[in-house]
């Protein structure tokens, strides 16, 4: 051993000693991540997800389109609907089971299609699926932007599985997609027809807090340099979106032996057109506030869409759902089932598959309680007389 090596070893021994003040960390963080059974509401899971996730992944999940008016309005709208309880009603037994086009469910609640679950937990969509199944076989709609191959997700559990489709220009690829999801046992296909925003102001504001590099608003038609000056991208619309038409929808329908829903419906007119062109159901959604900003909240437009459909097809609903009374209000305004997106994501990010299960259990319990408290012991007893609306 050289003298230099010996001196280095002695110095290392002294430096590593627990007796040196330099090795004593004077700060002790006594905060902790709470146990899952300590959380009593869906909203409480968001803080745990935030604590566990990288900042950019969390903000991607949290943000809404542009200035986030619609993101906020989705939640505010529930405050504009009052519940009107019935008195003297036997609610000793509350029945919540239902069936939508062959898919049976213990509660009128599903897990929404949302992308990139690998950002939330190492089990990704397989964990979301297992967590949904453990919550009374809650049906799960797999996002077309899932992190895992569809076959791997399908192998993770056995509860009802639906699949989301983003339209594909290549009809041969569309056909292959359809054959794949049907072979995997899919019970229905949900085709997204709205436009997810391509620009989020929150992302540009938080650019220096993120690890993904600078984000700049794309140039408009009069932009310069390398920015596109024509076509959809000049208007911040990805080329893969908003090219489709009713003919494409009819072609997709002809390839399916299972029901087809249109997701992203916000007007009575579009709901009627969906039925005319062969869709088996409509899905009222504004992408959780991530589509065009300043569109109305989904709760506001739900009644007019239900009136337009007139019971000919089932109506699904999402955006802003955070508790059982939210679900009850949507059911009262005509939805056949409600889908949960961000809540399920918070559960997965916070605790993995058991977190997804717990999110659904909380919502299921709150729905039963809300039905009992308002004197509505069955889904059939839930109608518009249950609510007073004051939409603004």
| Separation between Cα atoms, residue 15 and residue 159, nearest integer Å | 57
Q: Distance of alpha carbon 195 from its chain centroid, rounded?
A: 15
57/12 Cα distance (integer angstroms)? 39
The dihedral of CA 185, 149, 357, 79: what is its sign?
negative
Q: Tokens for 92, please give them.
A: 């000793």
Tokens describing residue 47: 């803080």
Catalytic-residue membership of 360 = no
- Cα separation, 316 vs 156, in Å, equals 25
Could you tell me where the DSSP H helices lie in the chain? 3-15, 43-52, 55-62, 69-79, 124-134, 150-154, 171-183, 201-205, 246-254, 268-276, 298-309, 324-332, 342-351, 353-373
- The whole-angstrom separation of Cα 17 and Cα 22 is 9
In whole angstroms, give the CA distance from residue 30 to residue 23: 19
Write the CA distances from 114 to 22, 125, 264, 288, integer angstroms: 48, 9, 14, 10
Contact 61, 342 (CB under 8 A): yes
> How far is it between the farthest Cα atoms of the chain?
92
Residue of 63, 121, 287, 360 with catalytic role: 287
For every residue of 194-230, DSSP letters joined together read S---S-BHHHHHTGGG-SS----PPP-TT--TTS--S
> Is 338 in contact with 107 (CB distance < 8 Å)?
no
Which residues belong to the active site? 287
């Amino acid at each position: 051993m050289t003298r230099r090596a010996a001196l280095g070893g002695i110095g290392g021994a002294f430096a590593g000693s627990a007796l040196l003040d330099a090795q004593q960390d004077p700060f002790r963080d006594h905060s902790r991540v709470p146990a899952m059974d300590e959380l009593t509401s869906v909203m409480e899971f968001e803080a745990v997800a935030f604590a566990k996730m990288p900042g950019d992944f969390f903000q991607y999940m949290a943000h809404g389109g542009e200035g986030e008016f619609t993101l906020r309005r989705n939640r505010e709208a529930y405050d504009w609907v009052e519940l009107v309880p019935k008195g003297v009603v036997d609610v000793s037994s509350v029945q919540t089971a239902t069936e939508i086009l062959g898919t049976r469910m213990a509660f009128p609640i599903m897990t929404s299609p949302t992308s990139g679950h690998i950002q939330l937990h190492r089990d990704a969509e397989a964990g979301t699926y297992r967590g949904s199944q453990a919550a009374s076989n809650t049906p799960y709609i797999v996002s077309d932007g899932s992190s895992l191959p569809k076959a791997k997700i399908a192998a993770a559990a056995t509860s009802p599985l639906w699949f989301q489709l983003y339209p594909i220009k290549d009809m041969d690829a569309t056909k292959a997609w359809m054959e794949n999801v049907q072979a995997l046992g899919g019970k229905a296909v949900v085709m997204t027809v709205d436009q997810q925003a391509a620009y989020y102001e929150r992302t540009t504001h938080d650019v220096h807090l993120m690890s993904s590099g600078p984000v700049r608003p794309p140039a408009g038609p009069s932009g310069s340099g390398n920015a596109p000056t024509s076509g959809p991208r000049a208007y911040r619309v990805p080329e893969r979106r908003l090219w489709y038409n009713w003919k494409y929808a009819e072609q997709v329908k002809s390839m399916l032996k299972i029901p087809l829903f249109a997701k992203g419906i916000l007007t009575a007119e579009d709901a009627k057109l969906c039925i005319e062109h062969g869709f088996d159901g409509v899905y009222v959604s504004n992408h959780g506030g991530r589509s065009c900003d300043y569109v109305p909240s989904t709760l506001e437009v739900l009644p007019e869409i239900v009136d337009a459909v007139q019971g000919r097809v089932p109506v699904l609903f999402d955006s802003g759902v955070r508790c059982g009374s939210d679900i009850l209000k949507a059911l009262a305004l005509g939805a056949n089932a409600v889908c949960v997106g961000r809540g399920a994501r918070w559960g997965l990010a916070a605790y993995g598959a058991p977190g997804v299960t717990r999110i659904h259990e909380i919502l299921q319990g709150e729905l039963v309680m809300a039905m009992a408290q308002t004197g509505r012991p069955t889904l059939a007893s839930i109608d518009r007389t249950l609510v007073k609306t004051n939409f603004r």
